[in-house]
Structure 1
Amino acid sequence: MTHNTPLSPRPLRRLSDVTRRVLTAAQLRAQGVTAAETNEQCRPGGSWQQILPGVFLLHPGPPTSEERLHAVLSYAARSPFRESSTGAGGVAGVPAQPNADEPRPAAATPRYADAVITGLAALTLHGFASAPPLPSLDTIDVLVPRLRRLRTVGCARIVRTPAVPTPSYVTGLPVAPVPRALADAVGELSDAATVRRMLTEAVRGGHTEPAAVIRELTEARLLNRPHVADAVESLLAEGRAVAEDHLYRMVREHALPDPVWNVDLCLPGGPHLGGLDAYWPEQAVAVELDTRAPRQEDDALWSEYARKREVLERLGITVVHVPPRKLRDSLEQQAAVVRTALMASYDRDPAAYVVVLPR
């Protein structure tokens, strides 16, 4: 097989030497290929094709998904940190240049400055089952700084941003973090069921936390869209369910005493004190999950959390407040915090008697 032979798609987890087949005009010049030679190769019936302005595909067949991704990044990048070498064989279809037989460094996965794949393509790369396969996407979204002078063209859809996020790298490609990719994808979707599936999968699949997604949706001013607001309610419910599962795992896997789950406390014949996710009556230790949305951080809900904690601690009940992210990322550490609170209870004065009711 030569560079001129159309290549079949490969699984995303397997990198091919795509950098030999997708090159910019600058990279071709670095190989000693003149503009005239490039134009000759791209004539009808030629061995190459221009896939995007200044970006060339070095075979005549349809581009693979991997080639389209690299082409979009090559088009949008300010400049690669290094020009990729095509190896000792040079560029296919062009006469050998002087010194072409001299050894050259092995081709390296290129790094693209100020260009990050986002939107549906990014979600597909992150492994979302609810995102469409790459070959079905007519365009690939790519984040660039707001002041870049680029236009959407061909398969490259330019998404401008004040600050390009630090990317994750999937098969060597810079990809927006899941919350940002979700926000960019949701901004282009009008189907409520699809939006709900994607937001739910983000949390259920362990890709991210609801708070991070809602923060990006808020930044993108998408929460005023009814179908997005409805999906966010499902996202929060899913986030709580996942956090509760982690809490159950923490107790089970780290050999903590069994608490009573999802209870309300009240004083005998007195006022209701509030609900708790887990409570150890003998030690008077409670765990409460913080599943507020980011937009609620300074509102009445947080005031209610603080008021409840203050009342319970006045009664001698220790309250451990746990964000779901800490349960996901540091389960052992959170178990140690709870175990310490349980052990410390034996050195405290007995707590006030409270009535424990199922919630």
Structure 2
Amino acid sequence: MTQNTPLSPCRSRTSGDVHPCVLSAAQLRARGVSASVAAARCGDGGPWQQPLPGVYVLHPEPPTGEERLVSALLYAGRPPASARRDVPAQPEPGREAPAQPEPGYGEAMVTGLAALALHGFALQGFAAPAPGPAAAIDVLVPRTRRLRSVGYVRLVRSAGTPRAEQVRGLPVAPVERALADAIAGLQDPLAVRGLLIEAVRGGHCEPAVVVRELSRARLLGRPQVVAAVDSFLAEGRAVAEGRLYDLVRTYELPEPLWNVELRLPGGPRLGGVDAYWPEQAVAVELDTRAPRLGGSGDGRRREELGVQWSAYAARREHLEGLGITVVHLTPKKLRDASEQQAVVVRTALMAAAYREPAAQVVVLPR
């Protein structure tokens, strides 16, 4: 391939045409462009540029935000040097060039603030919302990779990487993982709280999933995270309660008593429920608890959550022993399968006519 190759320069700047404008050295080599030719085109006044080692942008203008994302992924996803040595620079005579994996990202995926921006976070209050021209780009790679952070690419190494989601044709870490990686680099409690609140208000993910990921990353013990998690969980509960109100009214279920406490006449408290139909003795409880935590994370927090789980199980068992049907709903089910959850509640209400009468309880506002 000569200097007149159509690869020089790339003038298409729409997001749908970003990928052909940014190529790795291996991808250029597979197209017959040698390293020396690529280097010559990146010289002073040349039509190309090399923003990162082994990555080329096929036009002279400053790379766009999306081109920077593609270049970061190509840099982090390139194969190890040993693998690169096995690929011939030029095809053998009479044979086609060996097929190269496209687009060449390997196991790399965007994470941190850049990933949150791709997922639709507004990132209000951050000086340079990723992937803007002044922002660093966090890229998640396996811990075994020997690459180093360079330029605007900041590598995040992990023993286990999640399954990437495709956003605008790019591999992106799931919201909860991107959120944990972003929070790991923040010191300001207000910034941490802002990201967590936006995650739940924007419907990006459920609080329990985020807490599990923060625990995995050993972030729950950090002061700036401790200060934000409680308000984050409270916000998640408020959002879930709103979904429950909408479910009852959208699917025309009988109006329950909202957010009440049950107790035996003259006896002990039985605990609070989010909705209660006294005639049918059916209660709905939203499960907005944080998930059970494994061996990582803050030990005190794990102990507190373990107590909560035990108390919840005991309360539910007691209510059901009194003949009260407890319908267990999660925020995720309310969000993703509201019609199905409405059927579950309606079925429980209709089944009341065929059950033994429940024990009499006193209903109090909570």
Which TM-score band applies after superposition, normalised by the shorter structure? Answer: 0.7 to 0.9
User: Does the alignment pair 1:67 with 2:67?
Assistant: yes
Partner in structure 2 of residue 273 of structure 1: 270
User: Does the alignment pair 1:155 with 2:152?
Assistant: yes
User: Does the alignment pair 1:337 with 2:330?
Assistant: no
- 1:77–1:114 CA contact under 8 A, matched in 2: yes
1:81-118 Cα shifts (integer Å, max 9, x gaps): xxxxxxxxxxxxxxxxx99xxxxxxxx98362201000
Partner in structure 2 of residue 139 of structure 1: 136
User: Does the alignment pair 1:299 with 2:292?
Assistant: no
Partner in structure 1 of residue 198 of structure 2: 201
TM-score where L is the length of structure 2: 0.85
Q: CA deviation at 1:191?
A: 1.5
User: Does the alignment pair 1:110 with 2:103?
Assistant: yes
Q: Distance in 2 between matches of 1:181 and 1:121?
A: 8
Question: What is the aligned counterpart of 2:247 among 239, 247, 250?
Answer: 250
Q: Distance in 1 between matches of 2:39 and 2:182?
A: 36
Partner in structure 1 of residue 119 of structure 2: 126
- 1:267–1:353 CA contact under 8 A, matched in 2: yes
Amino acid across the alignment from 1:165: P
1:280-300 Cα shifts (integer Å, max 9, x gaps): 000000011111112469712
- 1:130–1:194 CA contact under 8 A, matched in 2: no
Q: Distance in 1 between matches of 2:334 and 2:77?
A: 38
Partner in structure 1 of residue 17 of structure 2: 17
- 2:130–2:137 CA contact under 8 A, matched in 1: no
1:297-340 Cα shifts (integer Å, max 9, x gaps): 97121111121112212221111122222111211111111111
- 1:262–1:276 CA contact under 8 A, matched in 2: yes
Secondary structure class of the residue paired with 2:219: coil
TM-score where L is the length of structure 1: 0.86
User: Does the alignment pair 1:39 with 2:32?
Assistant: no
Q: Which runs of 4+ in 1 moved over 3 A?
A: 2-8, 295-298
Q: CA deviation at 1:269?
A: 1.5
Report the RMSD for the aligned CA atoms in angstroms: 2.4
Partner in structure 1 of residue 54 of structure 2: 54
**Structure 2: unaligned runs, 5 residues or longer:** 1-6, 80-92, 95-100, 294-301
Secondary structure class of the residue paired with 1:303: helix
Q: Distance in 2 between matches of 1:36 and 1:109?
A: 23
1:136-166 Cα shifts (integer Å, max 9, x gaps): 5432111111101111011111111112211
Q: Distance in 1 between matches of 2:66 and 2:58?
A: 14
Q: Which moved more, 1:108-117 or 1:216-225?
A: 108-117
Matches within 5 A, 1:317-328: 317-328=324-335
**Quick one: percent identity of the two aligned structures?**
62
Partner in structure 1 of residue 27 of structure 2: 27
- 1:247–1:327 CA contact under 8 A, matched in 2: yes
Say how many residue pairs are matched: 330
Q: Distance in 1 between matches of 2:130 and 2:36?
A: 37
User: Does the alignment pair 1:213 with 2:210?
Assistant: yes
Q: Which moved more, 1:152-161 or 1:135-144?
A: 135-144
- 1:264–1:358 CA contact under 8 A, matched in 2: yes
Matches within 5 A, 1:77-96: 77-79=77-79
Partner in structure 1 of residue 238 of structure 2: 241
- 1:204–1:242 CA contact under 8 A, matched in 2: yes
User: Does the alignment pair 1:352 with 2:349?
Assistant: no
- 2:10–2:58 CA contact under 8 A, matched in 1: no
Q: CA deviation at 1:20?
A: 2.3
